[in-house]
């Protein structure tokens, strides 16, 4: 993570990248009624192998039953997400929220004592 400004710019950059025809970015809005909660991050490059981030490294799953669980979880997550214009709206909203945070490198204001 970076400063609020860095995070805001990253969100805006991702929003712009979503305009490219070969890239699809989904964002799950805060208000979505989540029905699936992945216990950790995972990468799926095809329907044969899943790479799961675990404490201390990565686990690779290629057993069809294990992979099927992650395929189903990804489908559930995609149903919750918004894409295209909806994703861009969410990403820009998040960027605006980051900009509302105080800059951690700035000196806090101090009231003068009278």
pLDDT value of residue 112: 45
Q: Which of 27, 38, 26, 70 is nearest to 51 (CA)?
A: 70
Per-residue pLDDT of the chain (114 residues; tens, 9 = 90+): 689 999 999 999 999 999 999 999 999 998 999 889 998 999 998 889 999 998 889 999 999 999 999 999 999 999 999 999 999 999 999 999 999 988 766 655 544 444
Q: Which helix (H) or strand (E) holds 94?
A: helix 85-100
Q: What secondary structure letter does DSSP report for 57?
A: E
Provide the pLDDT for residue 54: 87
The pLDDT value recorded for residue 2 is 83
Q: What is the 3-state secondary structure (H, E, C) of 23-34?
A: CCCCECCCCCCC
Residue 111: per-residue pLDDT: 47
């Amino acid at each position: 993570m970076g400063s609020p400004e860095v995070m805001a710019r990253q969100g805006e950059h991702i929003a712009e990248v979503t305009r490219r025809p070969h890239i699809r970015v989904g964002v799950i809005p805060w208000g979505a009624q989540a029905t699936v909660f992945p216990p950790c991050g995972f990468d799926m490059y095809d329907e044969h192998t899943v790479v799961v981030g675990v404490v201390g490294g990565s686990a690779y799953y290629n057993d069809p039953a294990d992979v099927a669980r992650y395929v189903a979880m990804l489908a559930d997550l995609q149903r919750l997400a918004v894409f295209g214009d909806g994703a861009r709206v969410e990403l820009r909203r998040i960027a605006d929220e980051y900009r509302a945070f105080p800059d951690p490198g700035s000196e806090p204001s101090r009231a003068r004592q009278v």
